[in-house]
Structure 1
Amino acid sequence: MVSDRGTQFVGEFWRSLCNRLEISPKFSTAFHPQTDGQTERINAVMEQYLRSYVSYQQDDWVRWLPMAEFATNNHASETTRISPFYANSGRNPRMTFGPLEHGRTIAEDQANSIARKMKDILDFLKDELFRAQRIQEESANIRRTPAPHYRVGDKVFLSTHHVLTKRPSKKLDWKRIGPYAIKRIVNPYAYELELPRSMKVHPVFHVSLLSSAANDALPGQQQLPPPPVEVEGQEEWEVEDILDSRDRWGRFEYLVKYAGYYEASWQPLSDVEHSPDIVKRFHKRYPWKPKPTRR
C-alpha cells in the first residue's frame, strides 16, 4: 500500500495494524507526489466536482461528496476503458429505488458465472493498464534524461525548493545546500542523505532533488578545515561570524560560522564568550534579533 508520510501513516498504531494484517506499507519520498500519482489524480478530480457545486462559503461540500463519489465510480477510465466500480464488482453502480431483480439460477452456477466474469475483467484490466503505461512512458521519456546513479559515500547537493530556512527571502536564499554524503540507497530513484542534526526533515529524497558535487577539484581549491587553537588549556575554534540568534526552550543559541568551515551550526552562548566584538557587531546590525537575558 502506497501512501505519503502523514502522521496517521507513520504512527506506531498504523505500523502495528499493517503488521497484523500482513500489509506492506510503501512510503513516498519527500516532496515527490508522483510516487502516489494515481491517488493524487483522483483527488484532483474530486476537487473539480466539488468546486463546481459548493456554495460561496464552501460549507456544504460534505453534502455533495456522495454524488461526486458516485460520478467518479460510474465514469469510464481512459486507461482501463471501464469504470472503477465495474472493475471491482463486475457491474456499474445503480441509481434506482426499485426492487432488485433476483435470478433463477442456482447458487453454484451463479457463483461460477461471477467468478468467470471477474477473471475476464481482471485480464482485460491488466492488458489495458500495460497498454496505457507504455503510451504514458513513451510520452514522458521524450523530454527526460536518465536518472543519475550515486553510490554510498558520494557527495551531492540538495535542492532547497522544499527546504524551509530562516533566511528572510526565499528568492535570495541558496538554491542548493550541502554537499552531503549518500548514506543509503533506498532504490535507484531515492537516496538517504547524511544530514546534520539541525535539519528536522526526512533524510530520504528523490533523485530529482539531488545534484552531484564536484570531486575533481583543482589543486588548492579544497582546503582542509583548520584545527582548533588552545586557549587557557582548552581547544577552541575561531569564530568568523554570527549569522542568527534564537531563544529555544529556555536556551539561548547563536548560529555560528567558524573560520575555515563551510557549514554554520547553532551553539550556546558560552561558546562565543571569547568573541564579544563579533557578538556586539551582530546585535548592532540586527537589533530586532533575540538577545541573551541575564538569569
Structure 2
Amino acid sequence: MLSARLQSVEQVFKQELESAIRKAKKYADRNRKISPDFKPGDKVWLASKYTKTTRTTKKLLEMLLGPFEVLKKISSHAYHLKLSQQWKSFPPVLHVSLLEPVKKSNIPNKHQLAQPPVLVEEQEEWEVAQVLDSKLNRGELGYLVEWKGFRKDPERSTWKPASSLTSSPDLFKDLHTLYPDKPGPNTSRV
C-alpha cells in the first residue's frame, strides 16, 4: 500500500517537473534568436560593447567595429575572425552574439567608408594630416585635428587635448604662425 502510494506520488512529481520544463522552454524560446551561420570569407561587424578603448566615454564609440572577415567556424556559437594589426590585443575567437552580418547595399556604386581607427589599449597612433583650429576648454588647450586618410571630411576631424598630441609639432607651429591670435601653448589658462 505504502509502496503503491509512493510510486503514484513519484509519478505525479515527474509529470509536474516535465510540465514545468516544457513551460520554461516555451517562454525562454519566445525571445531566443537563431544564431546566424557565417561561412569562411563572410564579412561581419563586431559589437563594441566590451572593447577597452582610450576614448573618454563609451557613448562616443562606434556601436559596430569592422568589418572583419570570418576565417572559420569554431562551434555553433563561436567564430575565428581575421583581425588587423590594430586589434592584436583582442581575442580572435568571438561569440556569435557579438557579431552581425555585413548587409550588402542595393544602392549602386555605394562604398563603405573606412572607419577611423579606435585606439585599443593604446596599440596604435594615427598620423595628423593638418591642424585646423585651437581653443581653450576649461583651461586645457585643445586642437581640431584632421587625420591622414580622412582629409576633406569634416565629420572625421576631432578635437583632441594638446597633451595627447605629441607628434607633428611643425603642424601646430604652422597653425599659430597663420593665426597668431588662436590659443597656443603659451596662452595663459585663466
TM-score by length of 1: 0.36
Structure 1 stretches of at least 4 aligned residues deviating more than 4 Å after TM superposition: 130-136, 241-244, 279-284
What is aligned with 1:255?
126
Deviation, 1:175, is 0.9
Which structure 2 residues correspond to residues 95-106 of structure 1 after superposition, within 5 A?
none
Which structure 2 residues correspond to residues 201-212 of structure 1 after superposition, within 5 A?
201-212=90-101
- Structure 2 alignment gaps of length 5 or more: 1-13, 135-140, 144-160, 170-190
Pick the structure with greater CA Rg: 1
What is aligned with 1:116?
none
Name the CA distance, whole Å, in 2 between partners of 1:242 and 1:145. 31
Q: Is the CA contact 2:78–2:95 (under 8 Å) kept in the aligned structure 1?
A: yes
Equivalent position SS for 2:58: coil
Which structure 2 residues correspond to residues 71-220 of structure 1 after superposition, within 5 A?
131=18, 136-199=24-87, 200-220=89-109
Query: What RMSD in Å do the two structures reach over aligned CA positions?
Result: 4.0
Q: Is the CA contact 1:156–1:178 (under 8 Å) kept in the aligned structure 2?
A: yes
Which structure 2 residues correspond to residues 60-79 of structure 1 after superposition, within 5 A?
none
Equivalent position SS for 1:193: strand
Residue identity matched to 1:151:
K
- For 1:107-160, what per-residue CA distance to the aligned partner results, in whole angstroms no more than 9, with x for missing partners? xxxxxxxxxxxxxxxxxxxx9xx9576554333112222222111111111111
Name the CA distance, whole Å, in 1 between partners of 2:93 and 2:168. 39
Name the CA distance, whole Å, in 1 between partners of 2:35 and 2:122. 42
Name the CA distance, whole Å, in 2 between partners of 1:215 and 1:196. 22
Closer/same/farther in 2, CA of residues 243 and 208 from structure 1, 3 Å limit: closer
- Structure 1 alignment gaps of length 5 or more: 1-126, 226-240, 257-271
Higher helix share: 1
Q: Is the CA contact 1:243–1:255 (under 8 Å) kept in the aligned structure 2?
A: no
**Match among 148, 164, 173 for residue 289 of structure 1:** 164
Q: How many residues align?
A: 128
